[in-house]
């Protein structure tokens, strides 16, 4: 797939993507698209973004050779792209910084965001404070219950957290509510979408802000191992950390790109969040992509041990990469993710996010079948501190 160039000028990735929104949002998206295009051409904007990523986020982060675990698996060498070492503890901040700088450039003084597990909400609240903006985060009422420490973090950072009580009271409903809020206050408000979904230009813009992950990892891998990895692996909910890693390798046909969806209790159970593995194309949240829906086109509730993967859709570029065969999409179950969570904690001294643990689980599965001189780059998209209550509760421990 040399010279990969997606999306087209209307935000289409083959049949996917696009802009499926109410008319009231179209002018706001046009304004955003024009501002983003102009910013991309502006050396000053690029320099400021670069500087913020260094000084505030802490980039570049390491590509870490997990030697102990590689030895134990007895196959491919495991390399971890340490997005968990970014400020706020996950990859989400790359995009939040980018969009906040764009918002400031557009003269907006208020940021809004949706959040599931709370990581994107925390990242947005953080950059809002950093740039002196107001911030409102929409979060499903059920997620607020499940992720109370992140709710408190957002409030500590000065953000208002609004409980969304409609639909399934989770991430997808928070996204609906943020879109409603945006259309109502578009003059002064910038909507910071946290994943590579939503209407054009969001999927492309969020990918571009995360591409730094792949660019760094590619250069580091070449420097440290002398060659490209045999595979890049990342977890996929909406798919922002995966696309950020994949983007730099799409034109390297020898590198396998593997996205790992949340298999929940297993695909057969129906209790999962794996639209690329068991959904079908449809339209939700402004784009056409694979969705988990019933036969009547109603969006289905999802299940995953990790709130960050608990989403019934997926970024349209992943849908395109799946159909084109350039990337593979597999699943890891709750149980497999949990085992990988413990393995990494105990072997490498790194507690990964439960989302990330899905990618680790699949990597641990295929590494032993690979040669020792091959390497696998895994996007260690976030740290697991936020998940210790969940994991403890599963073990019957009350913290």
Partner 1 sequence: MSRLATRFAQMEGRTALIPFVTAGDPSPAATVPILHALVAAGADIIELGVPFSDPMADGPTIQRANERALSKGVHLRQVLTWVAQFREQNQHTPIVLMGYLNPIEAMGVEDFAREAAAAGVDGTIIVDLTPEEGQHESTVLRAAGIDPIFLLAPTSGSERVAAVRRLGAGFVYYVSLRGITGAVQRDWQEVLGRVRQLREALGLPVAIGFGIRDAATARLLARGGADAVVIGSALVERLAEATDVDTAVELAHAFLTPVAAALAEPTQVSA
The footprint of partner 1 (CB under 8 A) covers 10, 18-24, 26-28, 166-167, 172-173, 175-176, 179-180, 183-184, 186, 281-286, 291, 293, 295-299
Least Å distance between CB 130 and partner 1? 29
The bridge status of strand 12-13 relative to strand 16-17 is antiparallel
Least Å distance between CB 109 and partner 1? 17
Answer for the pair 146, 307: CB distance below 8 angstroms, yes or no: yes
132 vs 295, beta carbon nearer partner 1: 295
12 vs 318, beta carbon nearer partner 1: 12
Least Å distance between CB 189 and partner 1? 11
Which candidate in 92, 108, 172, 386 is catalytic?
92
Which candidate in 70, 240, 306, 381 is catalytic?
381
34 vs 156, beta carbon nearer partner 1: 34
**Cα separation of 173 and 329, whole Å?**
25
Tokens, residue 389: 């209550």
**Cα separation of 328 and 276, whole Å?**
10
Q: Among 294, 383, 284, 396, which residue's Cα sits nearest to residue 85?
A: 383
* φ and ψ of 118, to 5 deg: 110, -10
Is 381 a known active-site residue?
A: yes
Listed in sequence order, the residues at least 6 apart from 314 whose beta carbon sits closer than 8 Å to its beta carbon are: 197, 236, 237, 238, 239, 261, 275, 276, 289, 290
Least Å distance between CB 275 and partner 1? 13
Least Å distance between CB 197 and partner 1? 12
Least Å distance between CB 22 and partner 1? 4
Provide the CA 205 distance to its chain's centre, in angstroms. 13
Is 114 a known active-site residue?
A: yes
253 vs 297, beta carbon nearer partner 1: 297
81 vs 285, beta carbon nearer partner 1: 285
Other Cβ atoms closer than 10 A to 136: 21
**Cα separation of 246 and 233, whole Å?**
9
- The residue whose two tokens read 């250069």 is 219
97 vs 186, beta carbon nearer partner 1: 186
Which candidate in 52, 83, 114, 261 is catalytic?
114
The bridge status of strand 134-140 relative to strand 327-333 is unpaired
* φ and ψ of 397, to 5 deg: -105, 130
Is 345 a known active-site residue?
A: no
185 vs 342, beta carbon nearer partner 1: 185
Least Å distance between CB 48 and partner 1? 30
Answer for the pair 111, 133: CB distance below 8 angstroms, yes or no: yes
Tokens, residue 304: 């995953």
State the DSSP H helix or E strand holding residue 284, giving kind and residue range, or none if neither.
Answer: strand 280-284
Provide the CA 389 distance to its chain's centre, in angstroms. 22
Determine the 3-state secondary structure of 191 from DSSP: strand
Answer for the pair 303, 309: CB distance below 8 angstroms, yes or no: no
Which residues are annotated as catalytic?
92, 114, 381
């Amino acid at each position: 797939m040399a010279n990969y160039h997606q999306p087209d000028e209307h935000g289409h990735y083959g049949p996917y993507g696009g802009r499926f929104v109410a008319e009231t949002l179209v002018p706001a998206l046009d304004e955003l698209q024009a501002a983003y295009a102009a910013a991309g051409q502006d050396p000053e904007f690029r320099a400021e973004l670069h500087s913020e990523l260094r000084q505030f986020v802490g980039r570049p982060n390491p590509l870490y050779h997990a030697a102990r675990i590689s030895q134990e698996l007895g196959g491919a060498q495991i390399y971890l792209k340490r997005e968990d070492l970014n400020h706020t503890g996950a990859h989400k901040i790359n995009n939040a910084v980018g969009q906040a700088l764009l918002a400031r450039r557009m003269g907006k003084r208020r940021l809004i965001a949706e959040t599931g597990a709370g990581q994107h909400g925390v990242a947005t609240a953080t950059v809002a404070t950093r740039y002196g903006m107001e911030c409102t985060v929409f979060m499903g009422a059920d997620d607020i219950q499940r992720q109370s420490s992140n709710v408190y973090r957002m409030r500590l950072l000065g953000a208002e957290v609004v409980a969304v009580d409609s639909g399934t009271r989770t991430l997808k409903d928070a996204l609906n509510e943020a879109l409603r809020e945006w259309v109502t206050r578009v003059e002064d408000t910038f909507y910071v979408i946290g994943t590579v979904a939503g209407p054009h230009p969001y999927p492309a813009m969020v990918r571009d802000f995360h591409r730094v992950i792949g660019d760094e990892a590619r250069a580091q891998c070449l420097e440290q191992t002398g060659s490209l990895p045999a595979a890049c692996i990342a977890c996929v909910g909406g798919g922002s950390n995966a696309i950020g890693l994949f983007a730099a390798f799409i034109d390297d046909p020898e590198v396998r790109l593997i996205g790992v969806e949340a298999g929940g209790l297993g695909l057969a159970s129906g209790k999962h969040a794996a639209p690329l593995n068991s959904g079908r194309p449809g339209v939700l949240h402004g784009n056409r992509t694979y969705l988990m829906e019933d036969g009547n086109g109603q969006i289905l509730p999802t299940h995953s041990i990790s709130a960050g993967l608990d989403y019934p859709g997926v970024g349209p570029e992943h849908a395109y990469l799946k159909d084109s065969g350039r990337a593979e999409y597999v699943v890891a179950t709750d149980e497999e993710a949990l085992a990988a969570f413990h393995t990494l904690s105990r072997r490498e001294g790194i507690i990964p996010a439960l989302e990330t643990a899905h990618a680790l689980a699949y990597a641990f599965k295929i590494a032993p079948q690979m040669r020792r001189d091959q390497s696998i780059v895994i996007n260690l998209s976030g740290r697991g501190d936020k998940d210790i209550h969940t994991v403890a509760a599963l073990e019957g421990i009350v913290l």
